[in-house]
Amino acid sequence: MSENTKELWKNFHEAKDQQAKEKLVRHYEPLVQYVASGFKNGQSTVIEFGDLLGAGMMGLLESIERFDPNKRIKFETFAVIRIRGAILDILRQIDWAPRMTRKKVKQAIKAISHLQIKLGRNPSESEIAEELGITLADYRKILQNMNSVRLVSLQDIIFIDEDEGISREEMIKSTWETESGISQEMAELYDEIRTIVKELPAKERLVLTLYYYEGLNLAEIADILTVTESRACQLLSQILLRLKSRLALTQNVFET
């Protein structure tokens, strides 16, 4: 963070200087363009790119209002999560994710959970496809579609059922609050997620870190992993399915 940016944060955080806020918005506006561009492909017939930018700007403004520069958190990391969340909210409002895709995702989660119990380890893609009674190619299409309909949000995967009782916004909010501000239910869920993530193979932890905390897009992650962008998409989707299936087991969602 440059000295000039630090001064702007100080003026806004301590004195609520609106000119400083406007300058911060202009300085960080490229973040909105960057995040929104990741939602553009395949959705132009559903929602205008300008609408994605507008939703993202609302997320940026909220981030600037809520960010505490005294905490050891990069603003870019803090803002990207909220910008993505704001864009996902507008996509959810128009019911972008087809019901059939959500149904297939839920079936895959259940299959992975059952295989984890049966095998005592994370199942391979081939084993999951066999459990579902489909080909490996068809299973990878499900993974690909998770990205194309924006079911690759960490919060959307964890809270894919709206009746599970904890909203995605609560999850995001709790990430940046002190432990005393997190409900017992949220604290326990967050601990479960951290435990599961720690148990993931190094490569999968890297993908999660690059996408959700470093804010890289799938093309950039693909370059780092030296795989195609399509494969990077499938890897991310597979990781999130494993997270959801493990959470389903710990919360006794499925009968065994």
Contact 179, 187 (CB under 8 A): yes
Q: CB under 8 Å to 11, separation ≥6 — which residues?
A: 17, 19, 20
Asked if residue 75 belongs to a domain, the reply is: yes
Model-level pTM greater than 0.75?
Answer: no
Do 132 and 225 belong to one domain? yes
CATH code (residue 111): 1.20.140
SS3 content of the chain, % helix, strand, coil (to 5): 75, 0, 25
DSSP for 100-126 reads HHHHHHHHHHHHHHHHHHHHSSPPPHH
Q: What is the pLDDT of residue 13?
A: 85
Instruction: Please check whether residues 109 and 150 belong to one and the same domain.
Output: yes
Asked whether residue 255 is assigned to any structural domain, the reply reads no
The residue out of 93, 127, 152 marking a domain boundary is 93
What confidence score (pLDDT) does residue 247 get? 74
* CA triple 234-76-69, angle to 5 deg: 145
Residue 133 shares a structural domain with residue 78: no
Q: Over its length of 256 residues, how does the chain's per-residue pLDDT go in tens digits?
A: 566 888 899 888 888 889 999 999 999 999 898 888 776 654 444 567 788 889 899 999 999 998 888 877 788 888 888 888 888 777 766 655 567 777 888 889 889 989 988 998 888 999 999 999 999 999 998 888 776 555 445 555 444 443 333 344 444 444 444 433 445 555 666 677 777 777 778 888 888 888 777 777 788 889 999 999 888 888 888 888 888 787 766 655 444 3
If one counts the domains in the chain, the total is 2
Domain that holds residue 68: 3-93
Structure token digits, residue 192: 């479960």
Q: Which of 54, 71, 93 finishes a domain?
A: 93
> How high is the pLDDT of residue 37?
79
Q: How far apart are CA 189 and CA 175, in angstroms?
A: 12
pLDDT of amino acid 96 = 54
- Pair 64, 180 in one domain: no
Handedness of CA 193, 198, 202, 206 (dihedral sign): positive
| CATH, residue 83 | 1.10.1740.10
